[in-house]
Structure 1
Amino acid sequence: MASTTREQQVLQVRAALILAARRRTLVTYKELGLAIGMTGVALSSHMGRVLDDLSDQCIAAGEPSLAALVVNSATGAPGKGYEDGGVPWHTEVQEVFRHWPQP
């Protein structure tokens, strides 16, 4: 997958997750994939890398990680790839909600 495509996906995922943050909602991997046109094998094999890139961008910008809003549809828990840097997941979600206020 070309890096430009992944960069575009990161931008799309960022926009979708900022909207979710402002609505104070969590998003499943499938919902997020559908929002940006990623399904099937691409979703299962590439979304983790897109979310990692997004987290890196958020951290570099001094923002809480938007990736914290993405959960497993069956369990409601964050994905196994979620790295909280020592901050509990639910605390990070609350930080995301505070950082992007409701309109």
Structure 2
Amino acid sequence: MDYNDLAAKARPALITASMRRSTMTYGELARAIDLDPDVPLSHHIRRVLDLVSEGCIGRKEPSLAVLVINEKSGEPGPGFRAGKTPWHTETRRCFDRWRPA
């Protein structure tokens, strides 16, 4: 599995979500990047989102990974919620950064 390729597919999907001022569930992202539905999402999506986030940090952008949420809780995963910036603040930063012109 090429995680870099999956992250490259995830980035535009997440930018589109941000431009729409919306979020995506883990399952929606998996479908958007053509992740095999028989593969457990937890490990693979986490790695993809780590790479997306690293790319955002390198570009000095808010982390698009915050836009991927748990379907039941409506919040990003525990790894993101444990960060220094509150997840809802980072979500707002994404919406502001990728606001349609």
TM-score, normalising length from structure 1? 0.89
- Once the two structures are superposed, residues 12-52 of structure 1 have per-residue CA deviations (whole angstroms, 9 ceiling, x without a partner) of 00010000000000100000101111123242321101101
Rounded Cα–Cα distance in structure 2 between residues aligned with 1:95 and 1:19: 14
SS in 2 for 1:78: coil
Structure 1 runs not aligned, ≥5 long: none
Structure 2 runs not aligned, ≥5 long: none
TM-score, normalising length from structure 2? 0.91
How many percent of aligned residue pairs carry the same amino acid? 45
RMSD over aligned Cα atoms: 1.5
Rounded Cα–Cα distance in structure 1 between residues aligned with 2:13 and 2:29: 7
Rounded Cα–Cα distance in structure 2 between residues aligned with 1:101 and 1:20: 10
> Number of matched residues?
100
Please name the residue that 1:45 is paired with: 43
From 82, 87, 93, the counterpart of 1:95: 93
Q: 1:81 deviation in Å?
A: 2.2
From 8, 24, 28, the counterpart of 1:27: 24
